[in-house]
Structure 1
Amino acid sequence: MGKSKRNSPKPDSNRAQRLAERRAAQEQAAQTVTRPFAGLAAECDLVALREFVPSATATLKLAPGAQGDRPVTLATVLPGAVAALVRAGAEPIGFVGAQVQHQSADPAADLAAAILWTQSAEPGGSLNSVAEAEITAPALTEVIDPGASLDLTVHPDFNWWVPAGVQPDAQVAATIEQANRAIMPSARLELGADAVGAAWWVDAGERAHLRWIRPEAEDDVMLALARVHAAGGLHLGEGSRFAGSFRTHGLLVPVFDLDQERHPTEWVTAAAEFGTRLVEALATDTPLTADERRSRDGLRSRQITLR
């Protein structure tokens, strides 16, 4: 008699549409690159620029043998959230955006393609999406120097969108003013040459946060946080509270709520001390104690994943 089709969804039904959307989401998740910026010394800062830093720029150091020699500046976001643009001038400069309107499942590949586009694009041009460029780029580690860190400039506003000495038209000026009103003050904490990862202070309005992107394996960082928590060291001193952690681009990011009245530099010493405690915990390979296991389970319940 054959297999019953009573439970099969009709092609045009809402259930069929939901199943199709679920399959598409699963296929996209399977294609997503788990840790796109692995192999780059600037991995942690690249993740920060993509995820939460409002306004910052850094001149990229191209890899030896990379196509083109036009200077390229990485920016958190460009006007219109475009993928790239080339600023006209006596010496044209390429700009590529970390936070873009259109992206694929591999942000590192998108960034590599955008960088290559800037090398041959006409001054004054912009690229909405790397898909429009039709560029098959090599790995990002072959386009920018993988051993170079980012020499970052954190901006208090988006006025750098317009070159110095240029008077923007009314529409551009209004766009910049609107962006400036929404900006969250940010700062990268300089914790010394031995510091690991990238620790960023962000004033989110109601409170300030420290978001510390760690380069170690996610599970290793979680176990280390559990050890530190069980020992009573999961804090940055008075005026701080561990808020939780989030996972993004294959990395774990511990987050602390901070006293908003204190300047970012006032947290440097406490953050460095916490960093030492965490590194020591990461070097420990003994089985977790009962208290540490309870800490781990509690910390995992306060963890979220950003896509």
Structure 2
Amino acid sequence: MTHAALVRRPFEGIPAERDLVAMRQLIPAATMSARTTPEHGVDGKAVDVTIATVLPLLWPAVRRSDGSVVIGLQATVPGGDLSRAFGQAIVQALALEPGQPVTALEVTEGSPRLQDVLDLTGDFPLTVHDSFSFWLDAAAERTAEVEAALAQSDESILPTAAIEGLPHAFWVDAGSKEHLRWVLDADEDAVIDAVARLHARRASGLGDGTRYVGSFRAEGLTVPVWDLPKGFGPEGVEAAAADLRDRFERALATTEPLTALERRARGGIVARQVTLR
């Protein structure tokens, strides 16, 4: 396989795969802590890596003044394998002087993948932010111009929160509506079957005024989406999370054929399902 060939599930094998997909596709501002293996670090020592949603000017990576590396998962990168592109981003960043950005990637068949570069035994903690202040190097001077530029960038962030009771699920306030988006390691047809089983029992939502509206594929995983009424908030999702998770996972694990009522529910879901991205 060449480096240009499309890898449909690029983050497979990384313990944080589902959160990485969310960072690439769903979350405006977030960071995740990681480390390289000693082999891919500096002088045989591991290097701290911050995986971020996005960096200034859509840079793929920056080497900070302390020698650590930050990569921006929402950057446009060459080739068909996101994992190889961002593995290469780390390699190029570590070849730079501290304080310099990687502005263009040189991905080849010999470029390592994130699965090779990162220490996969780490915890990969995810933090969702309401500001891009993580862009700023601790050693950088925060002038009035820098603060003004940061404030302008922060205005683009849609309020987003991780749902503690529903791992890899994220609430977002999109303005006229709120949404819940849940990254699942499950086939899309199986997800629709699960929703149909619940819908036939009038149990596919999170509560009054909520409804399942569709799903989409992202980096090989399935992301079902629910519409929520204004004011529902992450607190409303948290309150319903345990029950939704139990119902949904039970329905997803069911292998019996759909009943006639469930087949009708599935047909209606497919017919009404919104094409989402």
Fold match by TM threshold 0.5: yes
Stretch deviating more after TM superposition (282-291 or 57-66) = 57-66
Aligned partner of residue 161 in structure 2, secondary structure: strand
Write out per-residue CA displacement over residues 25-67 of structure 1, whole angstroms, 9 at most, x where no aligned residue: xxxxx93221111122211110110012111111113346444
Give the residue type in structure 2 aligned to 1:232: R
Q: What residue is the counterpart of 1:234 in the other structure?
A: 204
**1:300/1:249 CA distance change after superposition, 3 Å:** farther
Q: What residue is the counterpart of 2:97 in the other structure?
A: 122
Q: Report percent identity of matched pairs.
A: 39
- Structure 1 regions of 5+ residues with no counterpart? 1-29
1:258 to 184, 208, 228: 228
Q: CA RMSD in A?
A: 2.4
Q: How does 1:142-161 map to 2 (within 5 A)?
A: 142-161=116-135
Aligned residues: 270
**1:218/1:127 CA distance change after superposition, 3 Å:** same
TM-score by length of 1: 0.79
Q: How does 1:1-307 map to 2 (within 5 A)?
A: 31-63=5-37, 65-68=39-42, 69-88=46-65, 91-131=66-106, 136-164=110-138, 166-168=140-142, 172-191=146-165, 197-301=167-271, 302-304=273-275, 306=277
Cα separation, 2, equivalents of 1:45 and 1:112: 17
Aligned partner of residue 130 in structure 1, secondary structure: coil
Aligned partner of residue 155 in structure 2, secondary structure: helix
Q: Please tell me whether the aligned partners of residues 209 and 229 of structure 2 are also in contact (alpha carbons under 8 angstroms).
A: yes
Aligned partner of residue 229 in structure 1, secondary structure: helix
TM-superposed CA distance for 1:279, in Å, is: 0.9
Give the residue type in structure 2 aligned to 1:211: R
Stretch deviating more after TM superposition (97-106 or 36-45) = 97-106
TM-superposed CA distance for 1:200, in Å, is: 0.4
Cα separation, 2, equivalents of 1:260 and 1:118: 43
Cα separation, 1, equivalents of 2:123 and 2:274: 28
Cα separation, 2, equivalents of 1:199 and 1:226: 20
TM-score by length of 2: 0.87
Cα separation, 1, equivalents of 2:269 and 2:14: 28
Give the residue type in structure 2 aligned to 1:218: E
Cα separation, 2, equivalents of 1:273 and 1:81: 39
Larger radius of gyration: 1
- Structure 2 regions of 5+ residues with no counterpart? none
